[in-house]
Amino acid sequence: MARVNALLVLGTRPQFIKSAPLIKELLSRRSRVSLTLVHSGQHYDPEMSSVFFSELELPRPAFNLHVGSGTHAFQTATIMLHLERFMKKSKPDIVIVPGDTNTTLAAAITAAKAGLRVAHLEAGLRSGDMTMPEEINRRLTDHCSSLLFAPTRTAFSNLTNEGLRNNARLTGDTMVDAMQMALPSVIRAEEDLLRAMQLKEQNYVLVTLHRPSNVDKPTRLREIVLSLKRIAKETTVVFPIHPRTRERLRSLAAYIRRDRGQMRIISPQGYIETIALLKNAACILTDSGGMQKEAFLLRRPCITLRSTTEWPETLTGKANRLIRDSRMIPAAIAQARSLSIRHKRFSNPFGDGKASQRIRRILEDELSH
Ligand code: UD1
């Protein structure tokens, strides 16, 4: 049977993680898919990009479009222009687009308009909040894709409700596969990591924030920092800082330094380090989609600083709580920490760690000529 030529376009930190197990599966000996990787260059700092390629043992992409930072229109349009040329030459059987970033949308539209088939990895997520760029990206991507890999039943039924059932396949979530692959390395590394950072198991709060709705407005960001400083009076707060947030925090540098207590602002961490920090944290405060889910999988209580989530499954058993008012952060964290001991057992709605295998088979069955 002829091989399937697939082009996978990625460019941001969460895309490297969710694609890693699928890339490995498609490059394995059992695969009948020939894979080409293109990096958009949306994330370009070594700590946002190359560290993931080395930790997750990913091959070097065939091309890097070096789009860099810019407005949404700039990023989307520049990626489209470069990819259009590339796709014309390489004529893949299918273009795989993971997640919900500007890179995802740009690749999906370009491929669909070039008459190519598009497969969306992590299809069907909905936060219902169209002010989030990711919600626009994921909805539009789903509607121009011909194969929709839904990570959960909820995602599958969202697709059904939008008339996309024929294209939808319930596969499970490749981030479960990624975590299962990484856990042995995490377990080997965690003790040294905690010692080097002078952290004690379940004795610190892990914070990540990068959503425009939280970090782009100085007044909002200042209120959040004030709450973090309150927590840091009593507990260690570990805050690996996303470049967008680092940029915005510059003007608050003097304010942060004053009475910062046990707040530690550190550079963005790699995947193994992040999972190790999550696994050992007393509690997580985040606005990331992926971290909510990783906290859930690792049974760590999570507070999400947003009013909506595209991962409603994480709200089961109070494992994750949404809050919007930043003044509520200290109380919510105190409550989550006390809950953590009673953190219940629940079935995993995100799959069994075999999503990548299923996706490979679907690609082979549906595209082999
Ligand atoms: C993007 C995604 C978001 C995802 C996040 C993960 C979109 C619309 N958003 O947001 O869904 O959750 O990635 O990190 O695609 N910067 C650097 N170095 C880098 C990358 C970015 O310094 O390697 C800085 C730049 O100042 C840039 C800012 O971070 O302007 C924001 O980067 P951008 O790619 O526009 O969006 P993210 O906030 O990273």
- Give me the domains of the chain, ranges plus CATH numbers: 4-173+351-367 (3.40.50.2000), 181-338 (3.40.50.2000)
pTM: 0.97
Residue 47 CA, closest ligand 1 atom number: 23
Q: How far is the CA of 90 from the centre of ligand 1 (A)?
A: 28
Task: State yes or no: is 210 an active-site residue.
Answer: yes
Residue 14 CA, closest ligand 1 atom number: 6
Q: How far apart are CA 302 and CA 304, in angstroms?
A: 6
Which one of the listed residues 39, 43, 120, 210 is annotated catalytic? 210
CA distance to 8, 58, 60, 187, per residue, from 39 (Å): 9, 12, 9, 30
Contact 303, 339 (CB under 8 A): no
**pLDDT, tens digit only, all 369 positions of the chain:** 689 999 999 999 999 999 999 999 999 999 999 999 999 999 999 999 999 999 999 999 999 999 999 999 999 999 999 999 999 999 999 999 999 999 999 999 999 999 999 999 999 999 999 999 999 999 999 999 999 999 999 999 999 999 999 999 999 999 999 999 999 999 999 999 999 999 999 999 999 999 999 999 999 999 999 999 999 999 999 999 999 999 999 988 888 888 889 999 999 999 999 999 999 999 999 999 999 999 999 999 999 999 999 999 999 888 999 999 999 999 999 999 887 544 456 678 999 999 999 999 999 999 976
> Hey, what are 184's tokens?
């042995």
Q: How far is the CA of 195 from the centre of ligand 1 (A)?
A: 30
Q: Whose CA is nearest to atom 29 of ligand 1?
A: 244
Scanning the structure block, which residue is given the tokens 């919900």? 100
Pocket of ligand 1 (CB under 6 A): 12-14, 42-45, 48, 69, 100-102, 133-134, 210, 242-244, 247
What DSSP string runs through 322-356? E---GGGHHHHHHHHHHHGGG------TT--S-HH
Q: How far is the CA of 135 from the centre of ligand 1 (A)?
A: 15
Residue 72 CA, closest ligand 1 atom number: 8
